[in-house]
Amino acid sequence: MIIRQIETGAMANFSYLVGCAATGEAAAIDPGFEIERLIAEAEASGLKITAIVATHGHPDHSAGCAALKRRTGAPIFIHAADASPHIPADRLFHGDDELRVGKILFRVIHTPGHTPGGICLYAEGNLFTGDTLFVGDSGRTDLPGGHRPTLAASIRRLMTLPDNTVVWPGHDYGPTASSTIGWEKRHNVNAKEYGYFVDPAGNPP
Ligand SMILES: [Zn+2]
Ligand SMILES: [Zn+2]
């Protein structure tokens, strides 16, 4: 699996290219800004964008979907609860789902709370978390459709993934550009409130 993390725009957004090493097909995750950079990065990496996925409907994660679809012909995927007129979606997710890109099989995990239709994508030990989970923090819940207990429940589900799962967030807000599920259990500022804190010294909760 080939992963390219590309920081774009003025809000420290991360877009991702996730490519199949065998077929060269790639998913573009969260194309908010600077679409031509994503296309150039795909070409430089020998990848062809065949799927466009927005982890949720906020414009900083989805504003580039339509332009990228025009340039690549790739279909757009988003959860139904975050569909909007500015995103010409080809397929809507309605809960947990799956998405195949080349030989990569993404598990689509419905993670509402930041928005009602937020999703995370999991494949081969890598988790793309949008604005659900950041390195050391988690998404806002004070915007329309946000709900803090719902987000907490969503993140608790993510915490059932193996500790060495790599977390790839939707913004560069943390001390590092990526982390792991195990690190978040010990260091995320919301870990205690959201009920997944694990003491670094190994003491029980
Ligand atoms: Zn957002
Ligand atoms: Zn965002």
The CATH number of the domain where 24 resides is what?
3.60.15.10
Which ligand places an atom closest to the C-alpha of 134?
Answer: 2
Q: How far is the CA of 189 from the centre of ligand 1 (A)?
A: 18
Do the domain assignments include residue 23? yes
**205 pLDDT higher than 80:** no
pLDDT of 203: 78
Mean pLDDT of 159-179: 98
Helix (H, G, I), strand (E, B) or coil at 3: strand
Give the pLDDT confidence of 66-85 residue by residue, as tens digits: 999 999 999 999 999 999 99
Q: Is residue 201 part of a domain?
A: no
User: 158-190: b or e for each residue (b if 16 or more CB lie within 10 Å)?
Assistant: bbebeeebebbbbbbbbeeebbbbbbbbebbeb
Q: What's the structural domain count of the chain?
A: 1
**Domain-located, residue 167:** yes
pLDDT of 204 over the 70 cut: no
Give 74's DSSP letter.
-
Q: Is residue 19 part of a domain?
A: yes
Span 110-116, average pLDDT: 98
Task: Band the pLDDT of 200: cuts 50, 70, 90.
Answer: confident
- Asked, for residue 52, whether it belongs to a domain, the answer is yes
The per-residue pLDDT of the chain, averaged, comes to 97
Q: Confirm whether 48 is domain-assigned.
A: yes
Residue 202 inside a domain? The answer is no
Cα of 129 to ligand 1 centre, how many Å? 11
